[in-house]
Structure formats: structure tokens, C-alpha cells
């Protein structure tokens, strides 16, 4: 799902050769010398560098300061301005741009992250505030047109949206959406955008692409049963729901490899703890098993403190997935 051209760079979704035709100044109708280009959520991506080969004014931002510092040091001779900022906060980002706005906002995977984190509304409203009157927002995403087109077609945003499929390096389809302003739009209303985003996501996950189909539920039940002989599993009766699995094992059984790209172990632990509340079955771990499970939950950060001792039942796991979709 990603291309990794160097050991200390990291590019989501697709590599540059596939993107180039979509981001050329001529293709977008932009002036390469005058256009202000903003790459949001740059991380360790080399996209800002190739954009700087085509545009004279490129700013790349990420909220993770260590990412920005790394890129500043490694590519200090490049024309890219690497800056630490949260792309969901338009005033902070505008202060970093020479004219306070962007003629091109490049988003490779940022909207995907925002959808996972629940910050899509803030991101879209921030982009709307940062775009110049003739500006373009280009979104490169794992998501399909069936979700992206209705999601980005919000009346309060007043955007024109075009979509093209974009094959990833492994052959799976991705998407590229090019968004421009309509002439009839005013300032976006965050409450309206939020309601729109929630409605589209509810429709998508409950009707179009529910996570918990009948087939998937049966697969999870079968995998849960097959986990009985494994270390760390607890069973205090013959009933299937009496099988309690450690969180790291449940995480693997509940989500596909593709889904685990978007939802990491830390986020899962945080979400499942919130879902379980006081029902979390804590188990005192002792000896070698304790250290093994602590390793499996990635050494327990403050967000996941105590998670290595939690085991969940099948019904709790299924209820959690239903809640998430």
C-alpha cells in the first residue's frame, strides 16, 4: 500500500510517477513561479521535494515536530519550507504561508488519517479557509469514489469535485480527487459540514460497506474458537463467549491487514477501553506471560497503560465492531 524509496522516507498510497501527470502546473492551470503550494501531513514523504521541482513556492507541514526536524536536516538544501503545524488549524497554517493562503493544497493520505481519527470536518473546513479564490485541493486517498464524491460534495463547502482512479503499486485501486471552488460559495459553516460528514459516514458504514457482515461475523467466530489452544487465552466454560482473548490477539482476529494500516494497536486499545468502560475484565498477569503480553501491546504507553492485562469476550468484540461502523 505504500512506496518506500529510502530507508528514512515514507510515502503513502502511490509513488510519484503515478501522481506527476495530475500535479503538473500545466495540468492544473497554475503558474509554477507564482503559485503557493502546501503539502499537508507531509510526514517523511518526498512529495514536497518533487513538487519543489515544479513549483517555486512549496511549504510542507506536519503536526509531528520530529518528522519536520528530520526533513529539515536531511533536505536543508531543498527549496521546501518544512514547518510544524496542524493542518486542521487554518489560522496557524496561514501564518506560515507567504500570502496567508494556498493555490494548491496537496493531500496524500491526510484525509484518510482524518477519517480514521474523526477530524475530517476540521480538516475540510481548514482547507476551505486556506484555499485561494482560484485554488485547488488535490486529495490522494485509499478510499473509493463511492465514499469520496458524496463526502466532498457538501453544500456548505461549495466545491466542484472530479475523481479519477489511481492504481497503487500493488495493483489495488486508489483515488485522486481534484477540488475547486464554485463561484456561489461563502464561508463554510463547521456545524453544517460536521452534520454532512457524519451522515455520509453513517450511510457508508451501515449500508454501503458495513464492517460486520454475516460472513465476517462467522469468520471471526471461527477464528475465536481456533484461538482456544493458544497461550494467553482464557476459558471458564464450554460457551464460546466464555473464551476471553488478550487484546493483541483480538486485534489480529478482528481486523484485516488493510484495516490495521488505518487503525493501529494503540488506537484500538484506546477505543476498546472506552467501549468496555467498567466491563473490562482485568486479569493479573504474572511471570513470563506478563512480559510477553506487555511486549505485544507495544510496551504500554500512557494511552494503553494496563492494557496488557485485559482480555475480552467474543460478544464484547462484536459489539465493539458494530459500534465502530
Residues 49 and 95 in one domain: yes
Q: Give the per-residue pLDDT at 325.
A: 63
Domain boundary among 176, 208, 240: 208
Residue 164 near residue 176 (C-beta atoms within 8 A)? yes
CA distance between the termini of the chain? 23
- Please indicate, yes or no, whether residues 203 and 219 belong to a single structural domain of this protein: no
Crossing angle of the two packed helices 247-254 and 288-296, in degrees rounded to 10: 40
Angle value at C-alpha 317, between 316 and 320, nearest 5 degrees? 85
Among 151, 174, 208, give the residue marking a domain's end. Answer: 208
**pLDDT one-digit tens code per residue, 173-198:** 789 999 999 877 778 999 999 999 99
The domain in which residue 201 lies consists of 2-208
Same domain, 184 and 289: no
Same domain (yes/no): 260, 317: yes
As a whole number of Å, the CA-based R_g of the chain is: 22
Dihedral (CA of 69, 73, 74, 78) sign: positive
Count of structural domains within the chain? 2
Specify whether 136 is located in the same domain as 40. Answer: yes
Shared domain for 276 and 180, answered yes or no, is: no
- What is the tens place of the pLDDT at every residue in 93-143? 999 998 999 999 999 999 999 998 899 999 999 999 999 999 999 999 989
Q: Are 275 and 182 in a shared domain?
A: no
Decide if 42 contacts 203 (C-beta within 8 A): no
**What is the average per-residue pLDDT within 219-242?**
70
Tens digits of per-residue pLDDT, 201-226? Answer: 989 887 766 667 788 888 898 998 88
pTM of this structure = 0.71
- The whole-number pLDDT of residue 44 equals 92
Q: How far is CA 242 from CA 109, 237, 239, 245, 317, in A?
A: 40, 6, 5, 10, 12
pLDDT of 294 over the 60 cut: no
Looking at residue 9, its pLDDT comes to: 64
> What pLDDT score does 243 carry?
83
- Residue ending a domain, among 179, 208, 237, is 208
229 and 161 co-located in one domain: no
Q: How confident is the model at residue 168 (pLDDT cuts 50, 70, 90)?
A: confident
Say yes or no to pLDDT of 85 above 60.
Answer: yes
Confidence of residue 229 (pLDDT cuts 50, 70, 90): low
**Quick one: pLDDT at residue 287?**
32
Same domain, 273 and 199: no
Q: Lowest mean pLDDT: which of 51-60, 125-134, 157-166, 178-187? A: 178-187
253 and 154 inside one domain: no
Residue 304 has a pLDDT of: 47
**CA neighbours closer than 13 Å in the CB half-sphere of residue 210:** 11
Domain holding 52: CATH number?
Answer: 3.40.50.150
Amino acid at each position: 500500500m505504500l512506496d518506500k524509496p529510502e530507508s528514512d522516507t515514507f510515502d503513502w498510497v502511490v509513488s510519484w510517477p503515478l501522481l506527476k501527470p495530475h500535479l503538473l502546473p500545466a495540468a492544473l492551470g497554475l503558474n509554477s513561479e507564482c503559485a503557493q503550494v502546501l503539502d499537508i501531513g507531509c510526514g517523511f514523504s518526498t512529495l514536497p521535494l518533487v513538487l519543489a521541482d515544479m513549483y517555486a513556492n512549496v511549504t510542507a507541514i506536519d503536526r509531528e515536530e520530529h518528522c519536520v526536524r528530520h526533513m529539515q536536516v536531511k533536505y536543508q538544501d531543498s527549496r521546501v519550507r518544512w514547518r510544524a503545524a496542524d493542518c486542521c488549524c487554518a489560522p496557524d497554517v496561514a501564518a506560515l504561508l507567504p500570502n496567508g493562503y494556498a493555490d494548491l493544497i496537496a493531500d496524500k493520505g491526510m484525509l484518510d488519517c482524518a477519517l480514521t481519527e474523526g477530524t475530517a470536518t476540521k480538516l475540510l473546513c481548514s482547507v476551505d479557509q486556506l484555499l485561494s479564490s482560484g485554488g485547488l485541493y488535490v486529495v490522494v486517498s485509499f478510499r473509493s469514489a463511492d465514499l469520496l464524491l458524496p463526502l466532498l460534495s457538501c453544500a456548505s463547502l461549495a466545491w466542484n469535485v472530479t475523481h479519477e482512479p489511481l492504481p497503487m503499486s500493488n495493483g489495488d485501486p486508489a483515488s485522486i480527487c481534484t477540488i475547486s471552488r464554485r463561484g456561489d460559495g461563502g464561508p463554510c459553516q463547521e456545524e453544517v459540514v460536521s452534520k454532512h460528514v457524519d451522515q455520509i459516514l453513517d450511510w457508508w458504514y451501515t449500508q454501503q460497506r458495513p464492517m460486520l457482515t454475516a460472513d465476517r461475523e462467522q469468520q471471526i467466530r471461527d477464528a475465536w474458537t481456533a484461538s482456544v489452544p493458544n497461550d494467553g487465552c482464557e476459558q471458564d466454560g464450554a460457551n464460546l463467549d466464555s473464551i476471553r482473548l488478550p487484546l493483541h490477539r483480538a486485534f489480529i482476529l478482528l481486523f484485516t491487514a488493510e484495516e490495521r494500516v488505518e487503525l493501529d494497536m494503540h488506537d484500538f486499545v484506546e477505543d476498546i477501553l472506552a467501549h468496555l468502560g467498567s466491563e473490562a475484565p482485568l486479569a493479573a498477569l504474572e511471570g513470563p506471560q506478563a512480559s510477553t503480553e506487555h511486549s505485544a501491546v507495544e510496551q504500554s504507553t500512557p494511552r494503553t497503560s494496563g492494557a496488557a492485562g485485559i482480555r475480552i469476550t467474543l460478544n464484547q468484540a462484536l459489539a465493539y465492531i458494530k459500534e465502530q461502523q
